[in-house]
Structure 1
Amino acid sequence: MKRTKLSIPLAAVLALLTLVVGVVAGRATSGATGGSGGGTGGAAAGKRVDVIIKASDSAFWQTMLAGSNKAAQDYGFAVSTFGPTSETDVAQQVQLVENSISRGVDALVLTPNSSTALNGAIERARAAKIKVVIVDTKVTTESDGFIGTDNEKAAELAGKQMCDQLKKQNKDTGGVLIEASVAGVETITSRENGFKQGLAAGCPSLRVIGPRYNNNDVNLATSQVNDVLTAERDLVAVFAANNASGVGAARAIKDNNAIDRIPVTSFDTDAQEVAGLMDGSLDTLVVQNPYFFGYQGVVEAGMAAVGTAPPFNLDPGAVLADKSNMDKPEVKALLSPPTAQAGK
């Protein structure tokens, strides 16, 4: 558990609107923040905000924690950070929410590992007058705000780009594998559906294989992609729905010496995915801004805690990164963002 408490007061929250516009327009970087908290005081200064991420072993969520900690520094919140070891450990995440309720925090920023399994804990938190801002994955119960990428729209763009890429290679038939993490998670389902729509719009003769689910296990993802490469001789491309899937797919593509013939598009970014982008085992990354998730999540939680209504739905957008733009400053910053550990 990490707790950051600083005496810097809360600045005017409306100043963050310029940051929001920058992100939606695709110009945000991982280091973008709001004001410096240099005002003369504010009701939200010192409010206790717990941030619970999906998994402490993921660089993506560690970047979200870095954003959360920066918001604490900028606005004077008392932020504590937590996360289960794995995205598949829903029970531990429920327990972390229950712990926050017991401590009586003012607000909670939660990236749920299930769209439904956290509902009871969320409802108990709100019944205890704790404001709850949901990040990344929508839930089917009420909350005080949601921040997350429109995964279906972003994946649809990735599907269209994949179609264009295959057309340039004169490949308008064959199989496209969808390699994914966990079945039934709202974000993953939206990415699968969006990618299929984008692919079908321009390449209706391509056949979708899967999805294959790997439970966020890179080794299993590698094995599954290897199996499909062997069994499906007409495989022409792979879409990986998250970072573990992307790292596994990149390994399989390299193992089979298929870099030049099987393009791979993957969601998210971590050090291994960036390395894959550089060596060609990954062709495109759908890059989100988890730093913004953490920063804006804490700010909105603080707003809600003092009765100021934050934007109820906020989509920071996503960027398609490949070798043609990965060295541009605004994209490079998203590919190599800062990270922080939960509880440290």
Structure 2
Amino acid sequence: MDRSSHVRSRRLAPVVALAAAAALTLAGCSSSSGGKKAEEGGDDASAGKATTPRMTVALVTHAPPGDTFWDTVRKGAQAAAAKDNVKLVYSSDPNAGNQANLVQNAIDQKVDGIAITLAKPDAMKDVVGKAAQAGIPVVGLNSGLSDWKSLGLLEFFGQDESVAGEAFGGKLNATGAKKIVCVIHEQGNVGLTQRCDGVKKTFKGTTETLYVNGTDMPSVKSTITAKLKQDSGIDHVVTLGAPFALTAVQSVSDAGSKAKVATFDLNKQLVAGVKDGSIEFAVDQQPYLQGYLAVDSLWLYKNNGNYSGGGEQPVLTGPAFVDKSNVDKIAEFAAKGTR
């Protein structure tokens, strides 16, 4: 982790607050992009509030099928696209090589801008360079805070995963946790590894790492169940995504364990779990905001030459904790699919 991460996080707080406020205000007056084709958003030019010329933005992520986290990212991107008179073309693939091919497809289509995630940055390096050669601006979101500048991206919107993990570890200490298992659902994803490493850095108890196949939820369930049966001393299961937390709750029950479940990231069902107590707490990185700012930043760059963060600093969208003290307010937005 960059030594200046903590300082940078504090320095960027006003920037993030202003960006978030602007995004929420603009999203509130945006037209809905519902009913569009699955791969596109904001196709109706009349839906846009901007009077600037129509532009096309490709959003290419590493999202696996069925992960509802990315639905929220996409909703934010669609809201920005509707406001900015942008045709949004969305595609995703958890395989890094396939994701790079999707970026190449966007380059071949001569889009006006590309927003990408960098879960496996080495695989994206060459194609990002090709976008630069083609004169297409590229911004990053969600994954890749440590690599976006070295790969030549214009801007980055997301969470410092190491800082988030360290905050998570401190929260576990406050709950009295003694032994945890951190469940990584995608091996090789640098952001997920940074989360668990951050937790381990600040958590005062014992930390174990458990790898599961995130594309096979029955396997995830059985693997966590087996681990809990094998080690009754585990008092907390830490997951790195909302669907895996909800599955871990089932594993705890099946194993006859007394372990509690805490997680990174939210969805509507996860928020309900915090409310009913089956989930102890969650970290929210505001995926709606990530999608919104990524698309909006490309519009701003094309039409006014703007760089969020001055082109040198990332714009941090998290971490923020959600627990019983504030979950009712979050639930209001989760019901709309925007948190």
- Asked if TM exceeds 0.5, the reply is yes
CA RMSD of aligned residues (A): 2.8
| Partner residue in 2 for 1:11 | none
Is 1:21 the counterpart of 2:17 in the alignment?
A: yes
Percent of aligned positions with the same letter in both sequences? 23
| Partner residue in 1 for 2:193 | 189
CA distance in 1, matches of 2:151, 2:173: 37
What is the CA deviation profile of residues 107-128 of structure 1, one whole-angstrom value per residue up to 9, with x for unaligned ones? 0011234121111111111111
| Partner residue in 2 for 1:81 | 90
CA distance in 2, matches of 1:31, 1:227: 47
1:336–1:117 Cα change, 3 Å: farther
| Partner residue in 2 for 1:271 | 268
| Mean Cα deviation higher: 128-137 or 223-232 | 223-232
CA distance in 1, matches of 2:316, 2:233: 37
Is 1:119 the counterpart of 2:125 in the alignment?
A: yes
| Partner residue in 2 for 1:143 | 153
In the TM superposition, residue 158 of structure 1 has moved relative to its aligned partner by 1.6
2:278 corresponds, among 252, 276, 281, to 281
Question: 8 Å contact 1:153–1:194 — kept in the other structure?
Answer: yes
In the TM superposition, residue 161 of structure 1 has moved relative to its aligned partner by 1.2
What is the CA deviation profile of residues 45-73 of structure 1, one whole-angstrom value per residue up to 9, with x for unaligned ones? 31211112222522111111111111111
SS in 2 for 1:226: helix
CA distance in 2, matches of 1:22, 1:309: 15
| Partner residue in 2 for 1:327 | 328
- 1:101 partner letter: I
CA distance in 2, matches of 1:250, 1:71: 35
| Partner residue in 1 for 2:221 | 222
2:164 corresponds, among 154, 169, 172, to 154
| Partner residue in 2 for 1:342 | none
What is the CA deviation profile of residues 26-53 of structure 1, one whole-angstrom value per residue up to 9, with x for unaligned ones? x8997863876767x44xx312111122
Higher relative contact order by CA 8 Å / sep ≥ 6: 1 or 2? 1
SS in 2 for 1:116: helix
1:305–1:30 Cα change, 3 Å: closer
| Mean Cα deviation higher: 145-154 or 249-258 | 249-258
CA distance in 1, matches of 2:49, 2:328: 34
In the TM superposition, residue 188 of structure 1 has moved relative to its aligned partner by 0.7
In the TM superposition, residue 254 of structure 1 has moved relative to its aligned partner by 2.4
- 1:177 partner letter: V
In the TM superposition, residue 317 of structure 1 has moved relative to its aligned partner by 1.7
SS in 2 for 1:184: coil
| Partner residue in 1 for 2:108 | 102
CA distance in 2, matches of 1:74, 1:189: 36
**Please, which runs of 5 or more residues in structure 2 have no aligned partner?**
1-12, 31-47
What is the CA deviation profile of residues 287-306 of structure 1, one whole-angstrom value per residue up to 9, with x for unaligned ones? 12111111110011122334
User: What is the TM-score normalised by the length of structure 2?
Assistant: 0.79
| Partner residue in 2 for 1:52 | 60
Matches within 5 A, 1:176-255: 176-199=180-203, 203=204, 206-255=205-254
In the TM superposition, residue 284 of structure 1 has moved relative to its aligned partner by 0.8
Is 1:294 the counterpart of 2:291 in the alignment?
A: yes
- 1:73 partner letter: A
1:277–1:32 Cα change, 3 Å: farther
Question: 8 Å contact 1:178–1:238 — kept in the other structure?
Answer: yes
**Please, which runs of 5 or more residues in structure 1 have no aligned partner?**
1-16, 340-344
Question: 8 Å contact 2:96–2:120 — kept in the other structure?
Answer: yes
In the TM superposition, residue 321 of structure 1 has moved relative to its aligned partner by 1.1
CA distance in 2, matches of 1:230, 1:48: 51
- 2:73 partner letter: M
1:69–1:29 Cα change, 3 Å: closer
Question: 8 Å contact 1:159–1:194 — kept in the other structure?
Answer: yes
1:71 corresponds, among 68, 74, 80, to 80
